[in-house]
């Protein structure tokens, strides 16, 4: 079932380098046939576009915006300041391999993604943005579905199936573990 012909979710990210992680949100929304529109909006490199994007999101009547950014991740908070659409922030551990000559350590953000997590969650009182864990874009997709399920009962059913699939998969592994014993099970799993 396609819930709407128009996109219901706007996915934005601060840089093309974030697409490596942000694709996790798109994958889950695609799996459940929820249309989304994806764009790059940089809070510091395209500040005027940020305000324009917020107007666009309202015109499109997006129900949720998923915003991913790394480092001093002000994109989710700044978007939230321009609109009443709920924003789910995805803190990203910056991994920038565009500059091949950089050493491996300089490809990562200095604080391992904590910089981005705190930038998103520590929005001042009165201007909330919710956040998923570092790089957990898939969770942002699932959370967006939970919000949308208030409007689409069929989606609520699908989320219940998702939970029951998780239960079944743990049970399957646990039965296997019980049957084989821990040593054999772990060897098979990790070798």
Residues that bind ligand RP5 (CB under 6 A): 14-15, 17-18, 42, 69-71, 92, 94, 96
Nearer to ligand RP5 among residue 71 and residue 138 (C-beta): 71
Length of the chain: 191
Q: How far is the CB of 69 from ligand RP5 (least distance, A)?
A: 4
Contacts of 15 (CB under 8 A, 6+ apart): 40, 42, 69, 70
Q: How far is the CB of 76 from ligand RP5 (least distance, A)?
A: 10
Nearer to ligand RP5 among residue 45 and residue 178 (C-beta): 45
Q: Encoding tokens for residue 160?
A: 């219940």
Q: In terms of DSSP bridges, do strands 9-13 and 64-70 run parallel, antiparallel, or are they unpaired? A: parallel
Q: How far is the CB of 11 from ligand RP5 (least distance, A)?
A: 13
Nearer to ligand RP5 among residue 57 and residue 90 (C-beta): 90
Q: How many C-alpha atoms does 154 have within 13 Å on its Cβ side?
A: 7
Nearer to ligand RP5 among residue 71 and residue 77 (C-beta): 71
- For residue 32, give the H/E element and its range: none
């Amino acid at each position: 079932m396609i819930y709407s012909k128009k996109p219901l979710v706007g996915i934005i990210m601060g840089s093309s380098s974030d697409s490596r992680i942000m694709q996790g949100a798109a994958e889950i929304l695609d799996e459940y046939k929820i249309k989304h529109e994806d764009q790059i909006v940089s809070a510091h490199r395209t500040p005027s576009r940020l305000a324009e994007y917020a107007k666009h999101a309202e015109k499109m009547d997006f129900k949720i915006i998923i915003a991913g950014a790394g480092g001093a991740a002000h994109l989710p908070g700044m978007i939230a300041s321009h609109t009443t659409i709920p924003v789910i922030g995805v803190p990203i551990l910056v991994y920038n391999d565009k500059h091949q000559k950089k050493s491996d350590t300089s490809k990562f953000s200095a604080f391992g993604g904590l910089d981005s997590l705190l930038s998103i969650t520590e929005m001042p009182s009165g201007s909330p943005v919710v956040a998923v864990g570092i790089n957990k874009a898939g969770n942002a997709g699932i959370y967006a579905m939970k919000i949308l399920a208030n409007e689409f009962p069929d989606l609520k059913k699908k989320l219940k199936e998702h939970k029951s699939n998780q239960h079944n998969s743990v049970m399957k592994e646990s039965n296997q573990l019980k049957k084989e014993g821990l040593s054999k099970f772990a060897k098979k799993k990790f070798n």
